[in-house]
Structure 1
Amino acid sequence: MPRAFIALGSNLGNREKNIVEAIERMKRRGIKILKMSGIIETEPYGYTKQDKFLNAACLVETELNPRDLMDALLEIENDMGRERKIRWGPRNIDLDLIFYEDLVIREEGLTIPHPDAHNRPFVMGPIAEIDPDYRHPVLKKSVGEIYRTLL
């Protein structure tokens, strides 16, 4: 069964509860959580005039293809009340599909690997915690190597 890495973030409301709820909603959709990173607190990225985030990542196993997995993650965000007002702005939940197996996909509304993940320590750190040897399919470097360059 295919595996994927998903990054989670929240900086509105009960941040930890939001992450836990998103994980539970993924499980109810048949997305099996294989490994979960710890939850870290991070500074905002991009738009900085907002509260700190809690971030984490998980390795999942799913029968969903990449497009359907992305759609499921967006539906979970919507069901949890996510509003998109400001790019990189405050959000109660953010679910990003970072990697799906070693696929490279560039389609309307779906880019895998996530196009900016390698620049984000709050994404690479939690993924490196789960699997530091996973190789970025475009950069051909391990997430552990990528994360160390961001420190």
Structure 2
Amino acid sequence: MDSNVYIGVGSNLGDRAENCFKAIEAIDRFDGCHVEQCSPLYETEPIGYDDQGWFINAAVRIGTSLDPESLFPHLKSIEKALGRRPSGIHFGPRIVDLDILLFEDLVIRADNLTIPHPELHKRRFVLRPLADIAPDILHPVLNETIFELLTNLKDNEKGVIHYSCD
């Protein structure tokens, strides 16, 4: 039986929306994965390193037969195939960024993989698209729904604007 996994998708270099679409298509083509639902795109202000362009962000729900430790390197290989290179700047510009946000109700704390994503509950640019496709999913550590986390987020978070590809 496939596991439900929620993945954050983002880009702020080149054709940002196209980069996100290519990443989502690559996930769907990957053996053992299929995209089941995709949020609208959002344009979001960068955080942590302000001297860069705004991001396009989305969230997708996939079904996968892979375990988290197998899925993670596949997502990193998609990033690399689409041109992501280390910039040396934490939170710096990137052609594509793929993060496992939630993997069923698993809680994993390993050196290279933390699920749920450790910053999920603090980031409007993650919660807004995730709430579009999974408002009632319960955060397995905080025991609040995604909608509740979004609603309770402080308004000092930077801008998140619905993005139209037109």
| TM-score, length-scaled by structure 1 | 0.97
Q: Which residue of 2 aligns with 1:29?
A: 30
CA distance in 1, matches of 2:98, 2:59: 9
**What code does the residue aligned with 2:103 have?**
Y
Q: For residues 90 and 69 of structure 2, what CA distance do their matches in structure 1 show?
A: 22
What do the CA deviations read for 1:56-90 (whole angstroms, capped 9, x no partner)?
00011001100111111000001111022111000
- The equivalent residue for 2:140 is 137
Deviation at 1:13, TM superposition (A): 0.2
2:107 to 89, 99, 104: 104
Which residue of structure 1 aligns with residue 7 of structure 2?
Answer: 6
Look up the equivalent residue of 2:61 and give its one-letter code.
Answer: L
The reply on whether 1:71 has 2:55 as its aligned counterpart is no
Q: Give the secondary-structure state (helix, strand or coil) at the position aligned to 2:75.
A: helix
Report the CA distance between 1:9 and its aligned residue: 0.4
Alpha-carbon shift at residue 148 of structure 1 (Å): 1.1
Compute the TM-score of the two structures, normalised by the length of structure 2: 0.89
Q: Which amino acid aligns with 2:3?
A: P
Q: Which residue of 2 aligns with 1:45?
A: 47
Q: 1:20 Cα shift?
A: 0.6
Q: Percent identity?
A: 44
Using the TM superposition, give the Cα deviation of residue 42 of structure 1 relative to its aligned residue in structure 2, in angstroms.
Answer: 0.6
- SS in structure 2 of the partner of residue 8 of structure 1: strand
Instruction: Find 1:84's aligned residue among 61, 83, 86.
Output: 86
In the alignment, the residues of structure 2 paired with residue 84 and residue 43 of structure 1 have an alpha-carbon distance, to the nearest angstrom, of 21
1:101-131: CA deviation from partner (whole Å, max 9, x where unpaired): 0000001101000011111101011111101
Q: Distance in 1 between matches of 2:81 and 2:125?
A: 24
Q: How many residues align?
A: 151
Deviations 1:32-62 (A, max 9, x none): 1111000010100111111000000001100
SS in 1 for 2:127: helix
Match of 2:123 among 120, 123, 138: 120
Q: CA RMSD in A?
A: 0.8
Letter of the structure 2 residue corresponding to residue 148 of structure 1: T
Distance (Å, rounded) in 2 between the aligned partners of 1:9 and 1:24: 14
